[in-house]
């Protein structure tokens, strides 16, 4: 378990280093400043590091196939649906304090109150978060992270980036993932073994939920890399504006539980509330 912590710290350094490297390369990739503005204003993902990103994307796909899929596939195929829902609910409930902090930082007091009520209700009536009783009582959950908070504060999206073990992100969201890890109270009060075990379980659950959807995209898209890039970007923008992107399949969020060390995982992450089922 200590190894995960070391890997997490290395990943944090990697995010910051490659982000700075990418930013230093941007002027060279755009012959005129207006090209940068045009790329951002067009609504399309800006991917000036595409050759590098495609290599990293391939590495992450291999890591997922080698490390995660052998566990996620039998888990999805054999574990009862009720059990998978309970696992997803448990992990989501642990994340409510992070949702609360980010709602407060964004000045959204109404949703902050929802996060408080969800945590109280699901931790008690919901049996330590195994059952989502809060939604049934009218408190609909909404995942908030520090990347979204930075967007509310006016920090721009900038360029698309894929990192080994972390998947697709924008620098703003990479910083947000690190900050969320430090916002979680469980990092300070729960044992490392609990945090690491819960983090791994959350990752397994997140990927198992969306395996069929991702496989459909892989089989039907002419360019799987470009499809994931577009999906990730649209989902993140929808999350920032608290909108909906119902036509897009969910992409797993490997920062869904932010206790313990900073998250390290495969591709591709994007936020959503935990969902389980075969209907996509």
Which is nearest to 141 in space by CA: 233, 271, 279, 280?
A: 271
Dihedral, CA of residue 45, residue 48, residue 52 and residue 54, to nearest 10: 30
Output the pLDDT for position 266.
35
CA angle 24-16-54, nearest 5°? Answer: 70
Indicate whether 40 pLDDT > 80: no
Indicate whether 268 pLDDT > 50: no
pLDDT category, 165, cuts 50, 70, 90? confident
pLDDT, the chain, mean: 80
Indicate whether 237 pLDDT > 80: yes
| Residue found under tokens 């990927």 | 207
Output the pLDDT for position 88.
93
Q: Give the mean model confidence (pLDDT) for residues 56-68.
A: 93
The helix/strand/coil state of 169 is: strand
pLDDT category, 279, cuts 50, 70, 90? very low
Indicate whether 175 pLDDT > 50: yes
Indicate whether 247 pLDDT > 90: no
Dihedral, CA of residue 135, residue 244, residue 144 and residue 261, to nearest 10: 100
Indicate whether 57 pLDDT > 90: yes
Distance CA 273, CA 55 (A): 30
pLDDT category, 130, cuts 50, 70, 90? very high
In angstroms, the Cα distances linking 221 to 12, 96, 218 are 32, 35, 6
pLDDT category, 255, cuts 50, 70, 90? very low
Q: Give the mean model confidence (pLDDT) for residues 123-140.
A: 96
DSSP 46: P
Output the pLDDT for position 276.
36
Peptide bond preceding 26 in cis form (omega within 30 of 0): no
CA 127 to chain centre: 25
């Amino acid at each position: 378990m200590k190894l995960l912590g070391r890997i997490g710290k290395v990943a944090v350094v990697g995010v910051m280093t490659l982000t700075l490297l990418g930013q230093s390369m941007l002027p060279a990739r755009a012959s005129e400043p207006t090209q940068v503005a045009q790329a951002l204003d067009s609504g399309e993902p800006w991917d000036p590091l595409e050759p590098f990103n495609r290599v990293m994307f391939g590495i992450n796909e291999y890591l997922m196939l080698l490390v995660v899929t052998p566990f996620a596939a039998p888990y999805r195929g054999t574990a009862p649906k009720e059990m998978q829902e309970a696992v997803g609910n448990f992990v989501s409930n642990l994340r409510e304090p992070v949702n609360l902090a980010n709602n407060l930082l964004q000045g959204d007091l109404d949703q902050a109150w929802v996060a408080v009520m969800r945590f109280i209700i699901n931790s008690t009536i919901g049996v330590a978060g195994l059952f989502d009783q809060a939604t049934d009582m009218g408190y609909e959950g909404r995942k908030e992270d520090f990347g979204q908070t930075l967007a509310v504060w006016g920090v721009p999206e900038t360029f698309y980036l894929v990192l080994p073990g972390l998947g697709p992100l924008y620098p703003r969201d990479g910083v947000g993932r690190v900050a969320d890890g430090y916002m979680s109270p469980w990092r300070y009060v729960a044992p490392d073994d609990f945090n690491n075990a819960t983090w791994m379980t959350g990752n397994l659950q997140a990927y198992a939920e969306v395996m069929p959807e991702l496989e459909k995209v892989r089989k039907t898209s002419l360019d799987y890399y470009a499809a994931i890039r577009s999906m990730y970007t649209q989902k993140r923008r929808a999350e920032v504006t608290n909108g909906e992107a119902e036509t897009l399949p969910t992409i797993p969020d490997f920062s869904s539980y932010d206790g313990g060390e900073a998250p390290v995982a495969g591709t591709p992450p994007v936020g959503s509330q935990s969902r389980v089922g075969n209907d996509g």
